[in-house]
Chains A and B, each alone.
Chain A
Amino acid sequence: MAERDTTQDNRGYAHPEMLVSTQWVADHLDDPKVRLVESDEDVLLYEVGHIPGAVKVDWHTDLQDEVDRDFIDKAAFEQLMSRVGISNDTTVVFYGDRNNWYATYALWLFRYYGHEDTRVMDGGRAKWQEEGRGWTREVPQHPTTTYTAKDADPTIRAFREDVQALIDAGDPALVDVRSPQEYTGELLHAVGYPQEGAQRAGHIRGARNIPWGKAANADGTFRPVEELRDLYIGEGITPDKDVIAYCRIGERSSHTWFVLKYLLGYDNVRNYDGSWTEWGSLVRSPIARGPNPE
């Protein structure tokens, strides 16, 4: 396990050990205890250039099962870890494009299979680029490892039954992190994206709309802890509740899951990766349209 980035400690986050700065990464490029993992929406961005030593984990081809709508299983995860040279005690630092959407998505899955030391490079690719730090096209060849994954952690992943149970219990702490247009039902996907993926538009009945981007600064870094607290508590998403975040396919909500879980320290927060593409197509699922939760 690599040393912590102690420059994060004065930011007031519940788990500052989950973040590293771009400078920390630059200082640890040759640290054998650290493995940088790049996960992007742009599927060839890694090939265009990546941080020296970083490996690519493609959210689609590496993390998804090819047949079932599910993630790779434990054995496949172990094979992936071996292939990219990650051991059980490796410090894995994630970064990527789009404000670390897919970086936090990959981190979430790594946690799902019990990898202990996972961190996010705050600001992602954009900040590294903005600071004029270098890229390389050299694909590293890290020695393969023997990796033993843990059983999947059900406490961070929600399924549709879990969402329904929250609704049935009343006053559900559901966070819809999509854009207001998607939440109200005006669009099935973010502006400009193909309007596909669900049979119905709207939001899960009872969900609050807190777009993921409200947790990010303009440079892609996470907003100050006080602002994050105000953002979520102001919408009734308090740390005492059982919280489930969702979006369209679970990538944007991974960003929010990370914020709630590690920056604000909520004990019970899950990511619903089925998200709107599932809920919006389920027969008789409770849906609401318009700007209000109900």
Chain B
Amino acid sequence: MDRQQYIEYILDHHDNPRNKGRLDPADIQLGGGNPGCGDLITMYLRFDENDRITDIRYEGEGCTISQAGGSIIAELAEGLTAAEVAELGTHTMNEEMGAEVVKSRVRCATLALGTLQAAAKLYMTNKERVAQGLPPVDVPSGQFAVEV
């Protein structure tokens, strides 16, 4: 895709967000973002017994790129396992949004992905802890953009 096609794709997600909303109950929910600049994403996930995402929703507000990124990730991650989610990275967003757009606002572009990855990791950590008879840990909202 050329730059214009990427932008039209991003605007389509901005205008017609996929999987936007919340899951109640969710197996895991996690908030991420930069409240000072107004970019917020909360991810809600449900997994099956094989650690595969069966349901995903997101809520958020902020700039065009961060919110379109939420929609893109919420669509892309459905059906992936936690291990597969961990394999995603900035390259994923480059493929989805175009490297030029991602480069211009890398933290906005990777906020949803980073939040998803943190949520999936937390889910696996807690699953392991519960299996060992330990209480699950809670993680506060944080800045989960993917560092490059």
Chain A residues within CB distance 8 Å of chain B: 41-45, 47-48, 60-61, 137, 190-194
Contact = CB atoms under 8 A, between A and B. Distances in A.
25 contacts: A41-B37, A42-B65, A43-B64, A43-B65, A43-B101, A44-B11, A44-B63, A44-B64, A44-B65, A44-B68, A44-B101, A45-B63, A47-B7, A47-B11, A48-B11, A48-B64, A190-B36, A190-B37, A191-B36, A192-B34, A192-B36, A192-B143, A193-B36, A193-B37, A194-B145
Contacts of B11: 44, 47-48, 137
Report the interface size class on chain B. 10 to 19
B105 interface: yes
A191 B36 CA distance: 5
Nearest to B107: A194
Nearest to B66: A42
Contacts of B107: 194
B35 interface: yes
B65 A192 contact: no
Contacts of B18: none
A42 B64 contact: yes
B10 A44 contact: yes
Per CB-CB distance, the 6 closest pairs between chain A and chain B, nearest first, are A192-B36, A191-B36, A44-B64, A42-B63, A192-B34, A192-B35
**Residue in A61, A137, A194 with the greatest tally of chain B CB atoms within 10 Å:** A194
A4 B104 CA distance: 37
B14 interface: yes
Interface of B: 7, 10-11, 14, 33-37, 63-65, 68, 101, 104-105, 107, 143, 145
Given A44-B7, A45-B64, A47-B64, 18 more contacts: A41-B37, A43-B63, A43-B104, A44-B11, A44-B14, A44-B65, A45-B63, A48-B11, A48-B64, A60-B104, A61-B104, A137-B11, A191-B36, A193-B34, A194-B34, A194-B107, A194-B143, A194-B145
B115 to A, nearest CB: 15
B14 A48 contact: yes
Query: Which of A42, A45, A47, A137 has the most CB atoms of chain B within a 10 A radius of its CB?
Result: A42
Contacts of A60: 104
Contacts of B68: 44
Nearest to A195: B143
A47 B104 CA distance: 15
Nearest to A58: B104
A197 B4 CA distance: 31
A45 B14 CA distance: 11
B101 to A, nearest CB: 7
B64 A191 contact: no
A192 B33 CA distance: 8
A42 B63 CA distance: 6
Contacts of A45: 63-64
A43 B105 contact: yes
A42 B39 CA distance: 11
A148 to B, nearest CB: 31
Contacts of A193: 34, 36-37
Nearest to B105: A43
Contacts of B63: 41-45
A98 B14 CA distance: 19
A172 to B, nearest CB: 28
Contact of B35 (A42, A47, A191): A191
A44 B63 CA distance: 8
Nearest to B64: A44
B146 to A, nearest CB: 12
Nearest to B145: A194
A237 to B, nearest CB: 26
Nearest to A137: B11
Contacts of B35: 191-192
Contacts of A191: 35-36
Q: Which of B14, B63, B105, B145 has the most chain A CB within a 10 Å cutoff?
A: B63
A104 to B, nearest CB: 18
Central interface residue in A41, A45, A61, A193, by most chain B CB within 10 Å: A193
